[in-house]
Each structure stands twice: as structure tokens, then as C-alpha cells.
Structure 1
Amino acid sequence: MDLRQLSYVVAVVDEGGMTRAAAAIGVAQPTLSQAIRSLEAELGVELFHRVGRTVQLSAAGAALVAPARAALRDAATARAAVAAVAGLEAGHLDLVSLPTLAVHPLAELIGRFRAAHPAVTVRLHEPDDPAAVERQVREGAAELGCTELPVAEDLVTVPLAEQEYVALVPSDRRSTVGRSPSVTMTDLARLPFITTPVGTSARRQLDERLAAAGVVATIAVETDHREAIAPLVRAGAGVAIVPGDVAAAARGAGADVVPLRPRLVRRIGLVHRDGPLSPAAHRLVQLAVGDGRGRRRPPPRRR
């Protein structure tokens, strides 16, 4: 078993077929197919079920994918460590982040990293579920993640900031939720809500807060596009709970920003696997910690 074979397996999974995988990584399909067959012969199992011109992961293949990603990530880290003396003059850094955190605080951190290391390409992926962020980091699909804290104990955390949520209310409906300087979930539930679909981080925050208040709310609009929430509020479609930095950009022109009572604050930070980081990832963590924003917290050691 070698890294080339593992990279071919991962490529077939990511691209959804051998033809597309071969094209994506720049090898002839017979070469890729033969390498996978050799690996299957070595392991004594089928990694893919071949159905006509399509392939499907077998149970054994599915079990191999995460370790294969981790092995490829570790190999990339080793290569990058050797090249570190070149001063980060090449390479890439894979990040994964919740969408709202990619805007703040991650964008500013990436900007500073890129200013210092313009030859390093940053590849950012944005799943909408904290569990997906943890999973991609754990499996090696990304080296660093930006997500809500706390996370599972097997990951190292670097606290970055606290993010406060506020209510965004249509200006012409402000009196409906009361005129006090802050509002409760009971106040907000007098109007329908605009939110993201079930399973997303923002929806979980809303549902948990409503449940804690014992309030049953009406959902007016569910949208995958967070950028649509503020315009929908301004148009009078309903109220929303959004991060403060998002609300600040939407203030005025038909929307009022109102603090929540009690406050809703989430802690956010970087996470990575326990172990050595590539030079690029190490530098990004250094920037975060050097700000005084966070302190690296390794996972607890098992006794």
C-alpha cells in the first residue's frame, strides 16, 4: 500500500467515478484502475463495486477513506515541514469554517496570513454544521477548522473570540415586539422568524433559545442563503437572530438591531488534530495566538 494508491482511492470518492478522478489528477484511467486493483489484491477485499461504468464504495472501501485522507494529510505535512526552510514560498492551506465565521473573524486572519505569505494558497470550505467542521478536520480533509466551542476532546482548540447574537427587526414592526432597549424570545415570537434550515448552526441556536423560553414560534422563511436574511427582514417578512457584525451591516434602511435578553453569546475558535501542523497551519495559529485572542489548548491526555 502506498500514498499514490491511497490518493487514487480518495480521488475516486471525491470525484464520483474513475474517469473523472483520472482527469482531475492528471493520470490515464487504466493507470488509476490498475493501481486500485493492485491495492484490492494486496488487501484481499474489493474497495469499489463496479456496476457497469459506475463504481460504488464497498464497506471495506468506506472504512479506508478516512484513514487514507489522514495518511495523505500527514504526508503533506511531512513534505511541507521539509520545505519550511524555504519560508513558506509555496504550498496551500486547507481550512474549513462555519459560514458566518468565515466572514468574521476568519477573513481578517486569512488576510493577515496572506499578506505575510502571498505564495501560499488558502482553500476555504464552508459546511453549515459544526459537526461537519469537526469531522473534516478529524478525517484530514482540512487542517484547521473555525467553529463553535467547545468541541470534542480529541481536537486541539485555539479560542479566538466571542460572538454575540442580536435580533434584526423590521423597522415598521418594532412596536410589535415592544419598545424596551432589549427583547426576549417571547417578544420576538409575536412576529414570524426568518432562519436557515434545520441542521444548520444558526437554526440550532434559534431552536435552543426558543425551547429554553418555552416559546413556539412561526417560521416564515427558511433560506440556505444567509445573505438573504437581512433583505428579507427589511422587506418585512419577519424577524431574525443574527451575529452582531452581520446585524451592524444591515442596520437602517428598514431594519432595527435590538439586543437579546438574556444575551446569546457563542465562543468561537480554531480547531485541529493533536499532532504536528504544516508550517502554513502553524503560522496561522501563531497569528491567532499572537494577537492575544486565544491560547492553544491541547486535548486532555488519557490516563
Structure 2
Amino acid sequence: MKFHQLSTFVAVVDHGSVTAAADALSVSQPAVSQTIRSLERDLGVAVFDRIGRNVRLNAAGEALLPGARQALRDLQIARDAVASVSALRSGRLDLVSLPTLGVSPVAELIGEFHRRHSDISVRLVEPESAARIGSVVASGEAEIGFTELTSQGAVPFDPATGPDRLESVELDHQVYVVVYHRSVELDEVHAPDGAPVPLTELASLPLVTAIEGTSTRRLIDEAFAYVGVAPRIAVETELREVIAAVVAAGGGYSILPRVVAEAIGSPDGDIVIAQVAPPIRRRVGVIFRPGAMSPAGRAFLEVVEESKRRG
């Protein structure tokens, strides 16, 4: 197999068609088709199922994809190392993060990294599942991931990922709070001294939250189950902007990371944030593949370690 065969194969997968891959690679569509056919001849098996003008990755292609991505990344690592000689004059850093970590700590760390290495571009994607993030890093699609860690500090992972393939650096605990508009009748659940709001008293009120299967929803469901009650779901959505808008409009309360809750605004400024009891928190950190880091990846981990030391 040759480099241009693998890069063309991955381009067809990432862009969804031969035509789109040809545009992205600035080559002709017949050239892409010919390269894929030569790859299949070398492998002795087709990697795409062809349906009319469309192509779909088949079982052989799925088996090839992780290794192809890593081979391309390994070559890029070698090129970066030679070209930059640790000067970090060019290149791109691929990150993946849970959406609820995007503002803090991810944005803060990206900002600090870019101040030091302004010639390095950063690409951030946000799958919702913590297990999916482990797979993205393990497969080489991203070098560094920001995710929740288990109570033992381990990395949540898909069975195909394997916990031994990743290392983690714990950053902090992310604290969840209740957030609502003053027009929502929550005053009766507040203690006079501003004590945390009991989950048992929130259960009957309208909750605006993420859909099932997301990291935040799992935490919320587990917290209510722990105190023996079920929340009354008023709105569930995968769109964070909708959660914020519904809360700001007085459509119910939500339970969100504090930094996310603090970003919710309303025209009248009547957004209330309070702690919950028992507290809801999760351990968060960065994950990466040891021994497979680009210069930019290593430099980013240095920023992470410095931030952790500063507290």
C-alpha cells in the first residue's frame, strides 16, 4: 500500500463520496476512482460497496480504516518533527471534547496554547459520548480528548478501544448546579440561608435537559435515582442552545455544569443559579495515546500540566 492510496481512501470516507474527495484533494474524480481500484487490487478485496454512483464502506474497509488513519498520522508526525525541529512553526492539532467541557477548561487551554504557538491551527470536535471520545483518541482521529473519568480515574471506553491504549491526566471535578428563571416557582425549595436545593424537591418541577445517552443526562438520572425519585422531564433536547433558551424563557429549570449555567442570560437578568443536594460532580481530564504524540500534541500537554499545577 502507498501513502496516496491510504490518503485517498480516508478522504473518500471522510467526505462521503468520490466526487467530494476529489474536490478536497484537488484532483479529478477518475484519478480518485483509479487510486481506490489500485488499493483494492493490492489488498485483493474491495473496501467499498458501490451502489450506482455512491460508495459505502464495507467490512473490509472498516477493518482498514483505523490503521489507515494511524499510518497517515504517523507519517504526519514524522513530517512535523523534521519540518519544525520542535519549533512548532506549522501543523494542526486535533482535539475532541465533551460539549459541556468546551467552555472550561478546553477554551481556556486552547487560548493559552495559541498564545504560545500561534502558527499551529487547532481543530476541535465534540461527540457527546465519553466512550466515543476514547475511541476517537485511540483510533488516531484526534490526539487529545477532554472527557469525564471514572471514579477510579480511568477512561470510559468502548470495548474496541481498550483501556490499556490510553493514558489520562486528571484536571478537576466539574460541579453541576440548578439554573432557572425567577418566574419558575422554585422559591419554596430554597432554605432561607441559601442552602443547596434538594433534588427530592426538584423532582416534581419541569426539567429541561439533554437527551438520554448523553453524559450530562446520565449524571442527572443517576443523581435522582440515588435519592429515590424520578425527575419530571418537560423538555429534552440534544441542542445546548435550546436548553439555555428554554430556561431563560422560564420554561423550566435545568441542571448544568456551573460554567455552562453562568453563560445563560435573559433580557431581564433574572437567572438564578444554586447548588443542589446531594452535590452532582464528575471527574474530568485529558486522554491521549502515549508514544504517538506530535510536537503540537506534546506542547499542548505541557500547557495542560502547567494549568494543573497552577490549580
Q: Under a length normalisation based on structure 1, what TM-score does the superposition of the two structures give?
A: 0.91
The answer (yes or no) to whether the contact 2:96–2:133 under 8 Å persists in 1 is yes
Other-structure match for 2:288: 272
CA deviations 1:258-281 (Å, max 9, x no partner) are 111121111111111122310101
The count of aligned residue pairs is 295
The answer (yes or no) to whether the contact 2:94–2:123 under 8 Å persists in 1 is yes
Report % sequence identity: 46
SS at match of 1:105: helix
Q: 1:167 offset after TM fit, Å?
A: 0.8
Residue type of the partner of 1:265? Answer: R
SS at match of 2:8: helix
Other-structure match for 2:167: 156
Q: 1:87 offset after TM fit, Å?
A: 0.9
Q: Are 2:61 and 1:61 aligned?
A: yes
Q: 1:248 offset after TM fit, Å?
A: 2.8
- For 2:102 and 2:2, how far apart are their aligned partners in 1? 35
The answer (yes or no) to whether the contact 2:181–2:249 under 8 Å persists in 1 is yes
- For 2:2 and 2:310, how far apart are their aligned partners in 1? 38
- For 2:20 and 2:278, how far apart are their aligned partners in 1? 52
Other-structure match for 1:213: 227
SS at match of 1:249: coil
Q: 1:142 offset after TM fit, Å?
A: 0.8
The answer (yes or no) to whether the contact 2:220–2:255 under 8 Å persists in 1 is yes
Deviates more, 1:242-251 or 1:123-132: 242-251
The answer (yes or no) to whether the contact 2:84–2:90 under 8 Å persists in 1 is no
Structure 2 gap segments, 5+ residues each: 158-162
- For 2:263 and 2:85, how far apart are their aligned partners in 1? 42
SS at match of 1:24: helix
The answer (yes or no) to whether the contact 2:199–2:278 under 8 Å persists in 1 is no
Q: 1:230 offset after TM fit, Å?
A: 3.2
Q: Under a length normalisation based on structure 2, what TM-score does the superposition of the two structures give?
A: 0.89
Other-structure match for 2:144: 144
Residue type of the partner of 2:102? Answer: A
- For 2:205 and 2:281, how far apart are their aligned partners in 1? 22
- For 1:207 and 1:264, how far apart are their aligned partners in 2? 11
Other-structure match for 1:284: 300
- For 1:6 and 1:272, how far apart are their aligned partners in 2? 23
The answer (yes or no) to whether the contact 2:96–2:142 under 8 Å persists in 1 is yes
Q: Are 2:132 and 1:118 aligned?
A: no
Q: 1:86 offset after TM fit, Å?
A: 5.8
Q: Are 2:206 and 1:195 aligned?
A: no
The RMSD of aligned alpha carbons is: 1.9
4+ aligned runs moved over 6 Å, structure 1: none
Structure 1 gap segments, 5+ residues each: 296-303
